[in-house]
Amino acid sequence: MKETGKSEDAKDTKKQSSFDDGQEKKVTRLMVSGLDCASCAEKLKEKVASLEGVGQVQLNFGAGTMVVEHINPCSRLLKAVSESGYAGWVQQKGTPAKESGSVWQKRRTQLTLLSGLLLGAAVLGGWLGMPPQMVIALYAASMAAGGFFVVRMGLYSLKALSPDMNLLMIIAALGAVAIGEWSEGAVVVFLFSLGNTLQSFSMDKTRRSLKTLMELAPKEALVVEGGQEWKVPVKELSLKDVIRVKPGERIPMDGEVIKGFSAVDQSPVTGESMPVEKGQGEEVFAGTVNGQGSLDILVTKLSKDNTISRIMHLVEQAQAQKAPTQQFVDVFARYYTPAVILSALAVAFVPMLFFRQPFQPWFYRALVLLVISCPCALVISTPVSIVSAIGSASRNGLLVKGGAYLEELSRIKTFAFDKTGTLTEGRPVVKQVLSFDETGEEALLMKAASVERYSEHPLGKAIVKKAQELDLSFPEAEDFQSRPGIGVLATVQGKKVKITSPQELKEKSREQGGVDLEKWTQVIEDHYQQGHTIVMVKEDDRPIGLIALYDPLRKESIQALKQLKEEQKKVVMLTGDNPRAARAVAAAVGMDEVKAGLLPEDKVEVIRRLAEKEKTAMVGDGVNDAPALAASSIGIAMGAAGTDTALETADVALMSDDLSRLIYGVALSRKTLVIMKQNIVFSVAVKGVFLTLAALGMANLWMAVFADTGAALLVIANGMRLTGAVK
């Protein structure tokens, strides 16, 4: 059912492996510096993929990475990258990307500044009456400095028989020199070099915004053993090690608190605005910030498998996946550029050959047309928006697995929600304790807790927790027995106490052990109508009271569903719970439709029927809802931090149990689509205007550079607005 670009991506990023069965394959991850042009990146991928002994190649333009399956030495891959005009290095698994230095340390920046200074000197020299030969020499030096990288990349593209913007710029500059326009040629080269430098800076900034995720987790941890403390690198930690995190420090590893109590700021991972209290038995995540208390934490995941590492891996995968809009743009650009090149040739030669027009002015117009022809702004308009939006989402507690899903989210018309653990907290609490006789509420709760302390059932845990909150001391129970479908029983202070379902209350006029059950029937019915669960407590087969429990609504549920309905979205509940409980929750949150008593396969069938009519998203916990998540147009998992099943199954994951993140995701999706469309329309409009001016002879070369590089910078800046778009 999900056709949101997966097959296109597979075609676009992989080729059939050409290995023999007996050859040993290696998979190498390369970092590529200077990868600032989306179409140039595709040419680099094609070059590497064409090497003998290379199988599948996946190039992630957004992250600046390339994963290659090969049998050759890595040096051959790096040589191919270098021959294409880029710097590349092998990144070891689990290590952060190597920084390439500040923008001022890059040779491209330094040569661009030198080109600008020489151009300024040439213009000033012309004004001051400097000899023409010296002025021309300064213009030539300016072109040499600014054109160093342009010429290198252009020659690589010519060698590969894959002409690009750099080659077109070389032709335009040489053409300007050939007709004596030294000043214009120098201005064109400087502006193009400046545009490439700014574009490189913008893309580096976008990529760095994601790399900050990896920097959240400390590089060292304080290990505790035998009363001793010492620091070790996080990479050397093993499962079952115990680490100590002091107040104010970042937690270095995923783990379970075994000692201490503190409020932990989880916003870097889950996007939660308020600190979450953590005590013994609670799970904590790498990269979150400890509050005022000291915590001893049992390591439960290795550094390569912790939450931050998994988020980084999935976000990088997401950046590599193309949205449908981006796929359309790529196909369009593939036919657009050759068409304009043919048009430029026609502009240069047709007037001279068929209409006896002078060659030089039409040749100049053709040069302008060539410079305008490269669709840099159009090609980069969508990936920069996707990269920025996915990076922003990951920092705000929302993991989107690709541009296709980000775009699809804005088109969802129906949202289907699981009840337990999604709309509700999934942890029942005691609502009311009712004593039938002189036993009293506290004594009744004490007896029930004595029995349930040995039970693993959520209702039993809720009863024990309530007794602990009231500081009740309950005696040890003996001869504990659990009977599925019936209840639990044990001996407490010499009497047999049984916790069971109140089936006998259905016989309204019946008395048991001298207790008139009929008078409690209406109370129980009221609880049922509110979706509460009832358990009966019996002592020596005599009913002594009831305990009502309920699963509290998440505080964000009502507001989140209200906002979805205000946006004309349909909201549906799909649950395996009983109809009365489902209807009570549905009424509280304002559901349009509710279907209860569903098995996992029933949910899948309902989702399929809904999806036949309109785009449908399923929101669930990612475990028993996994089939429905997979069957929907978009599967959205709740509380994915630390949950492998949720991260693997869902297309979108809320890193905390907070439905407001879903509203944020819908808003971000909508804004991303708007910005992508703005960029596409702007890119095409600018090209159209300048192509028309060029054909009429009203555009010069520096205007053509603005039409290409200037437009690319503007769409990058517009796309980067998504890095902090929605809160």
| Confidence label for 656 from pLDDT (cuts 50, 70 and 90) | confident
* Mean pLDDT to the nearest integer, 231-257: 91
**pLDDT at residue number 334:** 62
Q: How far is the C-alpha of 439 from the C-alpha of 441, rounded, in Å?
A: 7
The pLDDT of residue 627 is above 60: yes
Q: Torsions phi, psi of 696, nearest 5?
A: -90, 0
Residues 666, 672, 674, 677: what is their CA dihedral angle, to the nearest 10 degrees? -140
Please give the pLDDT value at position 686: 87
What CATH number should be reported for the domain holding residue 50?
Answer: 3.30.70.100
Catalytic residue among 12, 164, 254, 418: 418
Cβ atoms 708, 658 nearer than 8 A: no
Please name the amino acid found at residue 683. S
pLDDT tens for each residue of 58-111: 887 766 788 888 887 888 888 888 877 777 888 765 444 455 555 566 788 889
Q: Is residue 10 part of a domain?
A: yes
| Token reading at 507 | 């016989």
446/419 same-domain check: no
Burial zone of 475 (CB within 10 Å; 0-12 exposed, 13-18 middle, 19+ buried):
exposed
Residue 207, pLDDT score:
61
pLDDT class for 503, splitting at 50, 70, 90?
A: low
Highest mean pLDDT of the ranges 380-389, 519-528, 626-635: 626-635
Residue 623's domain is classified under what CATH number? 3.40.50.1000
Q: Which residues pair with 594 in a beta bridge?
A: 573
96-130 b/e (C-beta count within 10 Å ≥ 16 → b): ebeebeeeeebebbebbbbbbebbebbbebbeeee
Give yes or no: residues 543 and 433 share one domain.
yes
User: For position 300, which CATH number holds?
Assistant: 2.70.150.10
Q: Which residues, including other chains, have CB under 8 Å from residue 154's CB and lie 6 or more apart?
A: 164, 166, 167, 169, 170
Please provide residue 567's backbone torsions phi and psi, each rounded to the nearest 5 degrees. Answer: -90, 15
* Within a domain: 61: yes
Strand partners, 108: none
Residue 588 belongs to a domain? yes
d(CA 686, CA 712): 10
Contact 431, 549 (CB under 8 A): yes
- The candidate with the shortest Cα–Cα distance to 26, out of 60, 77, 64, 65, is 77
Q: Which two tokens stand for residue 480?
A: 């504990």
Reply yes or no on whether the pLDDT at 562 is more than 90.
yes
Give the range among 150-164, 295-309, 440-454, 537-551 with minimum mean pLDDT.
150-164
More confident residue, 659 or 502: 659
What's the rounded Cα separation, in Å, for the pair 176 and 367?
8
Question: In this predicted structure, what is the pLDDT of residue 22?
Answer: 55
For residues 700-705, average pLDDT: 77
Whole-number CA gyration radius for the chain: 33
When mean pLDDT is compared across 141-155, 352-366, 570-584, 690-704, the lowest value belongs to 690-704
451 inside domain: yes
What value does the mean pLDDT take over residues 710-721?
Answer: 84
Q: Which of 521, 550, 579 is the last residue of a domain?
A: 550
| E strands present in 493-631 | 495-500, 511-512, 515-516, 533-539, 542-550, 570-574, 593-595, 616-620
Asked if 563 and 517 sit in the same domain, the reply is: no
Place of tokens 């012309």: 126
Query: Pairing between strand 487-492 and 228-233?
Result: unpaired
Q: What is the average pLDDT across 525-543?
A: 85
Given 550, 573, 608, the domain boundary residue is 550
Per the domain annotation, does 486 fall within a domain?
Answer: yes
- What pLDDT is recorded for position 316? 62
Compute the C-alpha angle 200/206/210, nearest 5°: 135
32 token code pair: 């590529």
Same domain, 564 and 458: no
What percent of the chain has pLDDT above 70?
80
583 shares a domain with 531: no
Dist CA 50 CA 37 (whole Å): 20
- Mean of all residue pLDDT scores within the chain: 80
Assess contact for 463 and 447: CB atoms under 8 A: no
516 is catalytic: no
Give residue 71's domain range: 6-100
Tell me, what's the pLDDT at 623?
58
Q: How many CB atoms lie within 10 A of CB 270?
A: 25
Residues 224 and 250 in one domain: yes
Do residue 16 and residue 80 come from a single domain?
yes
Residue 300 falls inside a structural domain: yes
pLDDT tens-digit profile of 329-358? 666 656 666 677 788 788 888 999 998 889
Using alpha carbons only, give the angle 327, 331, 333 rounded to the nearest 5 degrees. Answer: 115
**Long-range contact list for 151-154, CB < 8 A, 24+ apart?**
152/85, 153/40, 153/84, 153/85
- Domain boundary (632, 648, 664) is at 632
In the chain, the number of structural domains is 4
419 and 512 co-located in one domain = no
Q: How far apart (Å, rounded) are the C-alpha atoms in residues 389 and 262?
A: 33
Question: DSSP characters for 251-295?
Answer: P-S-EEEEE--EEEB-HHHH--SS-EEE-TT-EE-TT-B--SS-E
Any domain includes 244: yes
Q: In terms of Cα–Cα distance, which of 630, 665, 675, 670 is closest to 650?
A: 630
Lay out the sheet containing 26-33: strands in order across: 54-60, 65-70, 26-33, 87-90
Do 462 and 533 reside in the same domain of the chain? yes
Structural domain contains residue 15: yes
DSSP-derived 3-state class of residue 248: coil
SS3 per residue for 12-23: HHCCCCCCCCCC
Q: How many CB atoms lie within 10 A of CB 611?
A: 19
21-59 per-position pLDDT tens digit:
556 778 888 888 777 666 677 778 888 888 888 888 888
Contact 28, 74 (CB under 8 A): yes
Quick one: pLDDT at residue 507? 47
Query: pLDDT confidence of 450, banded at 50, 70, 90?
Result: very high
Same domain, 472 and 616: no
The stretch 556-584 carries a mean pLDDT of 89
Do 460 and 570 lie in one domain? The reply is no
106-155 pLDDT, tens digit per residue, is: 788 889 899 999 999 998 998 988 999 999 999 999 999 998 888 887 77
Q: Which two tokens stand for residue 576?
A: 């395996």
Q: Are residues 578 and 506 in the same domain?
A: no
Report the pLDDT averaged over residues 536-558: 88
User: Residue 301: which of 269, 363, 249, 255 has the closest Cα?
Assistant: 255
541-550, 659-668, 706-715: least confident range = 706-715
pLDDT, residue 664, reads 92
Which pLDDT belongs to residue 647? 66
* Cα–Cα distance measured from residue 68 to residue 72, given in angstroms and rounded to the nearest whole number: 10
Q: Which range scores top for mean pLDDT: 196-200, 283-287, 502-506, 663-667?
A: 663-667
Q: What is the DSSP letter of 622?
A: S
